[in-house]
Chains A and B, each alone.
Chain A
Amino acid sequence: KAGVTQTPRYLIKTRGQQVTLSCSPISGHRSVSWYQQTPGQGLQFLFEYFSETQRNKGNFPGRFSGRQFSNSRSEMNVSTLELGDSALYLCASSFTPGGRETQYFGPGTRLLVL
């Protein structure tokens, strides 16, 4: 069974640009969550999608948005990039949100904003 996949793995952008990251969950999983990891703030929750609906959102500005497709694949978008958006972006998948089950993480997308 394939794991969680994320594309691209590495990305370099400049301030003011926008970026779209993709996450494909484990087959059969319908819940996808996104996390940002930075040296200063650690791992922080961005948002969660289930059945194409955003169920939960972390404390991030509106420049961060996401969506989920009918095949459960999810994308997150960051507009008007800032230097502080440089981070490792991780997505996790599970069968259901809030379920008593293991969440599995993808390899991450490392974003560098210059």
Chain B
Amino acid sequence: GIQVEQSPPDLILQEGANSTLRCNFSDSVNNLQWFHQNPWGQLINLFYIPSGTKQNGRLSATTVATERYSLLYISSSQTTDSGVYFCAVQETSGSRLTFGEGTQLTVNP
């Protein structure tokens, strides 16, 4: 099956700093989503981005499908950005999402 690798596994920032999270995947995908898991466990959709670039406020994402990677940018980080960020992909031949192991982000005041 498809492999998904996220880096870094852990990231500690001071409030106001910028960060880049990376997701590499091993095969062509139909779907790529970025999620933020809140402290109660719910996966909050950030982006549906199988290719191209999108922006939503302080967050933006870019997926280069031909090179099989995606980047999530967080600018001017806030303490509320803390949590685990997951990248999940859906292979072209199936419908299940395969998740990376996540990036644990801690933003200190």
B60 at the interface (CB under 8 A from A): no
Q: Are A33 and B97 in contact (CB under 8 A)?
A: yes
A 16-43 to B, binary, CB cutoff 8 A, 1 in contact else 0? 0000000000000001010101000011
Distance of A31 Cα from B95 Cα, bound (Å): 10
A56 at the interface (CB under 8 A from B): yes
Residue of A nearest to B29 (CB): A100
Contacts of A106 in B (CB 8 A): 42
Distance of A85 Cα from B48 Cα, bound (Å): 30
Q: Are A42 and B99 in contact (CB under 8 A)?
A: yes
Q: A42-B99, A56-B94 are in contact. Are A100 and B42 (CB under 8 A)?
A: no
Interface residues in A42-96 (C-beta closer than 8 Å to B): 42-43, 45, 48, 55-56, 58, 88, 90, 92
Residue of A nearest to B49 (CB): A102
A-B contact pairs, 27 of them (CB 8 A): A33-B95, A37-B41, A42-B101, A42-B102, A43-B86, A43-B88, A43-B99, A45-B98, A48-B95, A48-B96, A56-B94, A56-B95, A58-B96, A97-B95, A98-B90, A98-B95, A100-B30, A102-B33, A102-B45, A103-B33, A103-B90, A103-B97, A105-B43, A105-B45, A107-B40, A107-B41, A110-B41
Chain A residues proximal to chain B, CB less than 8 Å: 31, 33, 35, 37, 42-43, 45, 48, 55-56, 58, 88, 90, 92, 97-108, 110
Apart from A43-B88, A104-B45, what 14 extra A-B contacts exist at CB < 8 Å?
A33-B95, A33-B96, A42-B102, A43-B99, A45-B98, A56-B94, A56-B96, A90-B41, A90-B43, A98-B94, A99-B30, A102-B45, A103-B31, A108-B42
